A = this chain, B = another copy of it.
């Protein structure tokens, strides 16, 4: 019953060879526009669907692209995937999803077992403490197109798409300063990730720019979760001298910070400024609403995918590119001094 129409059927009916049909169906190389038209016409009529297993086997593409990332259960990554998916769908590519749970072992296993014969290319956001560096390099050296996004890997010869973490952080801290906060702490993430370092750098440079001395004890870092944010604030409040504002590496941690502040009955906004990074919808739900730097997650996804597809079609003569997309400061109540 699964009577699938193949390239052979088309060839037989049109009384031409399969080679010609194959060529006509892809790019009109070595084929008469007329016969090409006939092939396309008949293919549509018969509802022909190419078999990508065969195509992949024979050396053509599989039309599958892989995504390797730590999580999908947060706003940022799910938006990135949505962006990727939009482009992939438009261009007729399928997405194969690999979630590493932010575990280096899992990531390593995924990359080792990445069947690059099944994949035309891979989009990747590495996990914290990634140990797969060498394996990614090998895949890239073998010629598989790879694009890193958000959590990029240093030193490898591949395209990269990130948001402007440095300037976003700078603007966030600048905003705190302009709101009159001067004792600004930074609740950071794992420092092995590039964007964490970028945001830290933006924080440091903003302080320097406004002649505010850096206090190392006000830079605390741990994981990315809300609980980590709560812990980090506790560590900040355990100190003799407390800060009066926090720039958090992301919204989830900022929300943890806010919850911890609420538990301590600190008036967020008026007495204590909090700003995050991401623009997670949660930041509009929490009271007071959380100021943040909006990340162009959807655009990061789209851009990454577009780059990857370019790499795939141009294959060897494609120069890796590094793209930085701008974020946007979104002031809300958590940094508003005038809040009653």
Residues from 111 to 151 in A contacting B, C-beta threshold 8 Å: 113, 115-118, 141-143
Chain A contact residues, majority secondary structure? mixed
Q: What 0/1 pattern do residues 248 to 286 of A give for CB contact below 8 A with B?
A: 000000010000000000000000000000000110011
In this complex, what residue of B is CB-closest to A56?
B53
A81 contacts chain B at the CB level, 8 A cutoff = yes
A62 contacts chain B at the CB level, 8 A cutoff = yes
In the bound complex, CA of A291 to CA of B143 (Å)? 52
Interface residue from B54, B117, B287 paired with A287 (Cβ < 8 Å): B287
Min C-beta distance of A99 to chain B, whole Å: 5
Count identical subunits in the complex.
2
Interface residue from B57, B85, B106 paired with A99 (Cβ < 8 Å): B85
Q: What 0/1 pattern do residues 74 to 86 of A give for CB contact below 8 A with B?
A: 0100110110010
A94 contacts chain B at the CB level, 8 A cutoff = yes
In this complex, what residue of B is CB-closest to A109?
B89
B-binding residues in A (CB < 8 A): 1-2, 4, 49, 51-54, 56-57, 62, 64, 72-73, 75, 78-79, 81-82, 85, 89, 94-99, 106, 113, 115-118, 141-143, 255, 281-282, 285-287
